[in-house]
Amino acid sequence: MATSPPYPPHPPQPPQPPQPGAVPEGGGIRHAHWWQRTWVRYGALIALLALSGLVILALVREQTGTQGFLVGLGLAVLPVPLLIAVFRWLDRVEPGPWRNLVFAFAWGACAAALIAIVANSFATRWIATATADPAGADTLGATVVAPVVEESAKAAAVLLVFLFRRRDFTGLVDGVVIAGVTGTGFAFTENILYLGNAFGTDQLTGDGGIASVTAATFFVRIVMSPFAHPLFTVLTGIGFGVAALSAHRRRARRVLLPLAGLLLAMVMHALWNGSASFGEWGFLAVYGAFMVPAFAVLTWLVVWTRQRELGTVREELPAYAAAGWLAPGEPYALGSMRARRLARDHARRYLGKPAAREVARYEAYATSLAFLRHRGSLGRAGADFVVRERELLNELWRRKDVARPALEHAARMTAPPVPLAVPPWPGYGVLGPGHPGYGGPSHGRPGHGGPGQGYPGQGYPGQGPSGQGPSGQGPSSHGQGGYGYPTGPGPYPGPYPGHGPYHPYRS
């Protein structure tokens, strides 16, 4: 455990440009490839997922037939892009690497689905043999066995990311995203099975259209409840996310919280599966009384957490701006999703897509730095706090020439203007309302504030119509538009036209 020092280190003076092909100081970046250091483990994981995918493909095709499999696949894939986009949107403050999401989806769709099919079938057959009651065995398997097996299998993906990609798993949102994508992958495979079987039933009975079993299954699983499995697993992810925020010394809490989330996911899953046995209106009752409110509460919680993360960025990064690592306007821009988007668009417009990607990486590193310092201020950072801080600062410093002008532009575009009060009396260097040069382009007398008669302090340093120095030289007495926005090249020259020092803002 470590705490952040009261003041961040200062940047190197003068800055040394990185050598081509050189490894940055500290030897790592935020999304460090653990698999580059352990090729054997990475290869074994790929082989496991590929083998699971082949086996689950064969099992599903055997149960549904080729036509049923193709129909189920075509229908089950429909909600997947939407769900992935939603979870990716939630992760925009500190976006994790795509490979984590690919792993989570593949685990849910292949490994977890294979475990669930094999274990559920074995347990149901065992219960039916032991009780000589196949109908009761099916009900018990759906309400007790399936929730325990399926949620445990999906939780394994969250646990693996939590253990082996710890730098990418720093809070509640990370747990929600990894768990939700895992649940999305599991639901995808399960929907193929259910929709394929429904299509096979319709083929035998000759039903079709809206009255078919396929249409009813599609409506229930794809239209009404595409979020069911992701919702269950998200409860487990919240437990892991809160555990990630806990101090290392609280080991009991770090173990019990994920277990509590897993238990809650199992209970919610059992309630959902058991709704069919609650009578004719059991499904709608559970859906309206539990599923929809739980979905709404979790959505609010994640969005609220995301806003808190943006607040943490605005609170922690000014220390690095004071030390010289960031420009003064960057903490505001990095704490606003709209400003971040404007910065990427600005870089893309003038320097192309590679520059926009560099700005996006800069934003991700800066966010990780803010979260690291926040954990350090709470005494929750690891022993490698100083090393990790230096790694992130070096990554920012390498990209500052591209990212800083774009973020300064975004800060000027999004910062709220600060109106300046106009004194009701004339003073030295200020012409009253009755004077012909007041508020207009006429020039004042020498010694009375200079051309344009700007108020002292209205003009900010920098070249442009906003003025130079305290006299506020410009075409009007109020600088540009009354707020003194700098428009000329400022103290940080860069590749973008018209960039200058940051616009004053109120956080």
| Cα(335)–Cα(331) distance, integer angstroms | 6
Q: What is the pTM for the complete model shown?
A: 0.74
pLDDT of residue 245: 85
56/60 Cα distance (integer angstroms): 6
The answer to whether residues 491 and 483 touch, using CB atoms and an 8 Å cutoff, is no
> Would you state the structure tokens that stand for residue 121, as one six-digit string?
């079938």
Residue 191: both structure tokens together: 């929907």
Torsion of CA 354, 360, 363, 364, to 10 degrees: -120
128-164 pLDDT, tens per residue? 888 878 888 888 888 999 999 999 999 999 999 999 8
For the ranges 226-235, 275-284, 459-468, 472-481, the maximum mean pLDDT occurs at 226-235
pLDDT digit string, tens, across residues 165-193 = 888 888 899 999 999 999 999 999 999 99
Under 8 Å between Cβ of 409 and 499: yes
Across the range 399-411, mean pLDDT stands at 93
pLDDT surpassing 50 at residue 27: no
pLDDT for the residue numbered 375: 87
What are the backbone dihedrals phi and psi of residue 439, each rounded to the nearest 5 degrees, phi first? 65, 10
Q: Is the pLDDT of residue 438 over 90?
A: no
Of the listed ranges 43-57, 399-413, 435-449, the least confidently predicted one is 435-449
- pLDDT bucket at 331, cuts 50 / 70 / 90: very high
Other beta carbons within 10 angstroms of residue 286's beta carbon come to 19
Q: CA 169, CA 189: separation in Å to the nearest integer?
A: 26
Residue 237 has pLDDT above 80, yes or no: yes
**Contact between 119 and 212 (Cβ < 8 Å):** no
Split at pLDDT 50, 70, 90, the class of 351 is very high
Other Cβ atoms less than 10 A from the Cβ of 349: the count is 12
Q: Looking at the DSSP assignment, which residues form a beta bridge with residue 427? A: 430
Q: DSSP class of residue 110? A: I
**What gap in Å lies between CA 300 and CA 490, rounded to an integer?**
41
For residues 177 and 374, give the distance between their C-alpha atoms in angstroms, rounded to a whole number. 21
